[in-house]
Amino acid sequence: MNQKINNLTLKMLAKQLGLSVSTISKAIRDSHEISDTTKKRVNELVQKLNYIPNPYASSLGSRNSKTIGVVIPEVVDSFFAKAINGIESIAQENGYHVLIYLTHESIEKEKQILKDFESGRVDGVLLSVSRETCSHSHINILMNKGVPLVFFDRVVDEVKASKVVTNDYESAYKATELLIKNGCKQILFLSFLNTLAISNKRLNGYKNALLDNRLAFIEKNILTFQNDSKKDYLLLKKKLNLTKRADGVIASVEKLALPVYQACEELRLNIPGDVQVIGFSNLDTAAFLNPPLTTITQPAFEIGKTAAALLVKALGRKKIELANEEIIIPSTLVLRRSTSL
Partner DNA sequence: TTGAAAGCGCTAACAG
Partner DNA sequence: CTGTTAGCGCTTTCAA
Interface with its own copies by CB under 8 A: which residues? 1-5, 7, 50, 52-57, 59-60, 62-65, 67, 74-78, 81-82, 84-85, 88, 92, 97-102, 115-116, 118-121, 123, 144-146, 258, 261-262, 283-285, 288-292, 318-320
Indicate whether 18 belongs to the interface with DNA (CB under 7 A): yes
Q: Indicate which single residue of 21, 46, 159, 320 sits in contact with DNA (rule: CB under 7 A).
A: 21
Indicate whether 20 belongs to the interface with DNA (CB under 7 A): yes
Q: Measured between alpha carbons, how far is 206 from 156 in angstroms, rounded to an integer?
A: 20
When the beta carbons of 28 and 215 are compared against DNA, the nearer one is 28
Using CB distances below 5 to 8 A depending on partner kind, what does residue 21 bind out of DNA, its own copies, none? DNA
Q: Measured between alpha carbons, how far is 30 from 89 in angstroms, rounded to an integer?
A: 25
| Those residues with Cβ within 8 angstroms of residue 257's Cβ, 6 or more apart along the chain or in another chain | 251, 277, 279, 281, 283, 293
Quickly count: other Cβ atoms within 10 Å of residue 100's Cβ.
Answer: 12
| Those residues with Cβ within 8 angstroms of residue 42's Cβ, 6 or more apart along the chain or in another chain | 13, 17, 19, 23, 24, 27, 28, 34
Using CB distances below 5 to 8 A depending on partner kind, what does residue 23 bind out of its own copies, DNA, none? DNA
Using CB distances below 5 to 8 A depending on partner kind, what does residue 184 bind out of its own copies, DNA, none? none
- State the binding string over 41-80 for DNA (x if CB under 7 A, else -): ------------xx--xx-xxxx-----------------
**Least distance (Å) from DNA to the CB of residue 113?**
19
Helix (H, G, I), strand (E, B) or coil at 57: helix
Indicate whether 37 belongs to the interface with DNA (CB under 7 A): yes
When the beta carbons of 71 and 164 are compared against its own copies, the nearer one is 71
CB 140 within 8 A of CB 164: no
Q: What's the chain's length in residues?
A: 341
| Those residues with Cβ within 8 angstroms of residue 317's Cβ, 6 or more apart along the chain or in another chain | none
DSSP bridge partners of 189: 222, 250
Binding site for DNA (CB under 7 A): 1, 7, 9-11, 18-23, 25-29, 32-38, 53-54, 57-58, 60-63
